[in-house]
């Protein structure tokens, strides 16, 4: 059907060029707002009416006649109706819709996947400093980043997943101090441990039980290994630097365990500290100064970011000689560009909104060939967690927030991923733990997975050779329920493309829920394992194709497609 659609689009372009030379680029099909009106809608007649100074309805009549004169339309289109001021509604012949079943079965897991475009994409996400367990907000970011990576992989991009973190900043120093105090036998509430919320030092101490766990492991001279580092503690509670290195490695390992539980893998871990040790920060600042994009005022070095659309100029180097946090970000993104990533997407919380303009301004001011609008950003809101009807705010292990691992343990990896991807990233979201564990149609991930499992049970009951279904005679698939299901299958590739372009994995969840609903309706409308062998094989081919698309879509989200439930 996808090939047929392309042939029909080519025919539409040809007919439009006959009406108005050059109008062929307006060839497009839309989905009718009411399914009963047809399978494709064409609005080109109304678009051409004004420049041609013609009646749109009459143009529609001319376009209809031109289309129905084409062999490809005679072969695949049953009827064209003119509606309203000049809409053309196309009704496909059943054979045109049936072709999608064969296409899905032949392509399998590659259905919807585009050929390589030769371009490299980096998606940076999670990027949590190793100062504590990953919280639910990191979980939303991990789900978004991984799904966007999967979406772009289906569109032919070579995708690189990167985790960026600081292993030597102020927060790391606070982590080391908190761990050292625990290792010496102190705890929150002791005189040396600030508890006054008005005391700025209190905010710089980590109170969760995980700090005590790190301290005990340090005293036991444990060895910890993370994806990007390994370290053995010497057990000396006075050795601050050894404690710091051990605590970082310990928490990086903890983060890896969180990510493993969530089935997220990274290709590379990039250290913010390396931007300084490798001289990239200094080189970036020197370039900006040499380009005349900075000035000194009040003892600080400023970037002329207003030249690039920012609402005010930004301090780059403070009076004490330290750099503000966006400066290494600029250096980091120059490194991304130099590493050959023509497109970069950063997944971050909405609190990073203010960094977008200044980072992009710094990249333009550096004048290294980076295009405007680089990098792209996807900003997400935090997540509220509700359990037993009440909001959950505290994890004993973390001290002040619900961890990603808590949420996975309470529900499942599949539920957490699907739920966190079921809304636009910038939309507030409440994760209902009770709903996520229900085994009924109110639970969206269960509803979709059950559709897949239900199909697998039908195929198992049949017991035949699934591979043989690719050659089945599909002419029996001419009922409204079957045709509606086939039309929905045909929308999958375009949906993937639009979801990737819009950084919108939630579109995949919406599509899968719609497809699951269409299958459940089809199952209720038509018995599949009938006595008529030809009808049975045709219906089995259709539901097998549906299972394949459900499987493919769930894989994009990082969610499993169980065969039994």
pLDDT over 50 at 309, yes or no:
yes
> What per-residue confidence (pLDDT) applies to 206?
86
Contacts of 296 (CB under 8 A, 6+ apart): 302
What would the mean pLDDT of 44-59 be, rounded to a whole number? 88
User: Where are the domains positioned within the chain?
Assistant: 2-92, 170-261, 278-380, 441-557
The CA–CA distances, whole Å, from 24 to 17, 60, 66, 521 equal 5, 15, 13, 39
> What per-residue confidence (pLDDT) applies to 255?
95
> What per-residue confidence (pLDDT) applies to 263?
96
- Say how many C-beta atoms besides its own lie within 10 A of residue 221's C-beta: 12
- 224 three-class SS: strand
Task: Return the closest-CA partner of residue 38 out of 85, 88, 101.
Answer: 88
Predicted confidence (pLDDT) per residue in 513-555, tens digit: 999 999 999 999 999 999 999 999 999 999 999 999 999 999 9
Predicted confidence (pLDDT) per residue in 287-300, tens digit: 999 999 999 999 99
Partners of 301 in the β-ladder: 296, 317
Of the pLDDT bands very low, low, confident and very high (cuts 50, 70, 90), residue 199 is very low
What number does CATH give the domain 278-380?
3.40.50.620
CA–CA separation, 242 vs 344, rounded Å? 36
> What per-residue confidence (pLDDT) applies to 35?
76
Predicted confidence (pLDDT) per residue in 431-456, tens digit: 999 999 999 999 999 999 999 999 99
- 182 three-class SS: helix
CA–CA separation, 390 vs 166, rounded Å? 35
- In percent, the amount of the chain with pLDDT more than 70 equals 97
> What per-residue confidence (pLDDT) applies to 144?
98
What would the mean pLDDT of 41-52 be, rounded to a whole number? 89
> What per-residue confidence (pLDDT) applies to 205?
81
CA–CA separation, 85 vs 546, rounded Å? 37
- Say how many C-beta atoms besides its own lie within 10 A of residue 475's C-beta: 12
CA–CA separation, 299 vs 318, rounded Å? 7
pLDDT over 90 at 168, yes or no:
no
Let me know: does 537 contact 472? Beta carbons within 8 Å.
yes
> What per-residue confidence (pLDDT) applies to 32?
83
pLDDT over 50 at 201, yes or no:
no
> What per-residue confidence (pLDDT) applies to 395?
60
> What per-residue confidence (pLDDT) applies to 253?
96
Predicted confidence (pLDDT) per residue in 498-511, tens digit: 999 999 999 999 99
- 351 three-class SS: helix
> What per-residue confidence (pLDDT) applies to 1?
74
Of the pLDDT bands very low, low, confident and very high (cuts 50, 70, 90), residue 19 is confident
> What per-residue confidence (pLDDT) applies to 86?
86
The separation between CA 509 and the C-alpha centre of its own chain, rounded to angstroms, equals 11
* H/E stretch holding 314: strand 314-317
Where do the DSSP E strands lie in 152-267?
158-165, 223-225, 230-232
- 138 three-class SS: helix
pLDDT over 60 at 280, yes or no:
yes
What number does CATH give the domain 2-92?
3.30.1360.70
> What per-residue confidence (pLDDT) applies to 394?
67
Let me know: does 319 contact 300? Beta carbons within 8 Å.
yes
Helices and strands per DSSP (H, E), number in the chain: 21, 16
Fold of 441-557: Isoleucyl-tRNA Synthetase; Domain 1 (1.10.730)
| Mean model confidence pLDDT for the chain | 93
Burial state string for 10-31 with b = 16 or more CB within 10 A and e = fewer than 16:
ebbbebbbebbeebbebbebee
- In percent, the amount of the chain with pLDDT more than 90 equals 84
- 321 three-class SS: coil
> What per-residue confidence (pLDDT) applies to 198?
47
Question: Which is it for the CA torsion 176, 280, 380, 254, positive or negative?
Answer: negative
CA–CA separation, 522 vs 530, rounded Å? 14
Of the pLDDT bands very low, low, confident and very high (cuts 50, 70, 90), residue 194 is low
Task: Return the closest-CA partner of residue 53 out of 19, 6, 22, 17.
Answer: 19
Predicted confidence (pLDDT) per residue in 92-143, tens digit: 999 999 999 999 999 999 999 999 999 999 999 999 999 988 999 999 999 9
Of the pLDDT bands very low, low, confident and very high (cuts 50, 70, 90), residue 195 is low
CA–CA separation, 199 vs 431, rounded Å? 33
pLDDT over 80 at 420, yes or no:
yes
* H/E stretch holding 29: none
What would the mean pLDDT of 195-203 be, rounded to a whole number? 49
CA–CA separation, 124 vs 324, rounded Å? 21
pTM of the model as a whole = 0.91
Of the pLDDT bands very low, low, confident and very high (cuts 50, 70, 90), residue 79 is very high
């Amino acid at each position: 059907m996808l090939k047929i659609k392309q042939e029909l689009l080519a025919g539409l372009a040809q007919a439009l060029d006959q009406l108005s030379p050059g109008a062929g680029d307006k060839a497009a099909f839309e989905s009718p707002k009411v399914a009963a009106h047809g399978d494709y809608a064409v609005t080109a007649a109304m678009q051409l009416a004004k420049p041609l100074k013609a009646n749109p309805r009459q143009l529609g009549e001319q376009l209809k006649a031109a289309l129905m004169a084409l062999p490809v339309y005679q072969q695949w289109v049953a009827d064209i109706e003119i509606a309203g001021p000049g809409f053309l509604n196309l009704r496909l012949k059943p054979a045109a819709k049936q072709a999608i079943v064969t296409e899905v079965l032949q392509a399998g897991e590659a259905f919807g996947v585009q050929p390589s475009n030769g371009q490299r994409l980096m998606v940076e996400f999670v990027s949590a400093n190793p100062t504590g367990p990953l919280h639910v907000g990191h979980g939303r970011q991990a789900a978004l980043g991984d799904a966007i990576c999967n979406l772009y992989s289906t569109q032919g991009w070579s995708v690189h997943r990167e985790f960026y973190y600081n292993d030597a900043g102020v927060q790391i120093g606070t982590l080391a101090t908190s761990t050292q105090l625990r290792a010496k036998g102190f705890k929150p509430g002791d005189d040396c441990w600030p508890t006054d919320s008005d005391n700025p030092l209190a905010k710089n101490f980590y109170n969760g039980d995980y700090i005590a766990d790190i301290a005990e492991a340090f005293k036991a001279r444990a060895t910890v290994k993370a994806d990007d580092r390994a370290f053995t503690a010497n057990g000396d509670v006075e050795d601050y630097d050894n404690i710091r290195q051990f605590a970082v490695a310990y928490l990086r390992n903890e983060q890896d365990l969180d990510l493993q539980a969530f089935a997220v893998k990274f290709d590379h871990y990039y250290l913010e500290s390396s931007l300084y040790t490798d001289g990239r920060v200094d080189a970036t600042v020197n370039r900006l100064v040499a380009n005349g994009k900075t000035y000194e005022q009040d003892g600080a070095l400023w970037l002329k970011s207003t030249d690039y659309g920012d609402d005010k100029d930004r301090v780059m180097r403070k009076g004490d000689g330290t750099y503000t946090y966006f400066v290494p970000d600029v250096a980091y993104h120059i490194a991304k560009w130099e590493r050959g990533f023509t497109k970069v997407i950063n997944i971050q919380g909405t609190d990073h909104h203010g960094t977008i303009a200044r980072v992009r301004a710094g990249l333009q001011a550096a004048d290294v060939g980076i295009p405007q609008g680089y990098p792209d950003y996807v900003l997400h809101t935090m997540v509220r967690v509700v359990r037993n009807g009440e909001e959950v705010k505290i994890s004993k292990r973390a001290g002040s927030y619900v961890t990603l691992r808590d949420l996975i343990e309470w529900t499942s990896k599949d539920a957490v991923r699907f739920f966190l991807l079921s809304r636009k990233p910038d939309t507030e979201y409440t994760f209902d733990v009770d709903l996520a564990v229900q085994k009924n149609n109110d639970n969206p991930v269960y509803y979709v997975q059950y559709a897949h499992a239900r199909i697998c049970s039908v195929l198992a009951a049949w017991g035949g050779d699934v591979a043989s279904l690719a050659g089945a005679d599909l002419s029996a698939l001419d009922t409204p329920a079957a045709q509606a299901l086939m039309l929905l299958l045909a929308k999958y590739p375009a949906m993937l493309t639009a979801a990737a372009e819009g950084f919108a994995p939630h579109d995949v969840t919406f599509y899968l829920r719609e497809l699951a609903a269409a299958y459940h309706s089809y199952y209720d409308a038509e018995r599949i394992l009938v006595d008529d062998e030809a009808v049975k094989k045709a219906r089995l081919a259709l539901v097998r194709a549906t299972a394949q698309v459900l499987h493919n879509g769930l894989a994009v989200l990082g969610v499993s497609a169980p065969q039994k439930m």
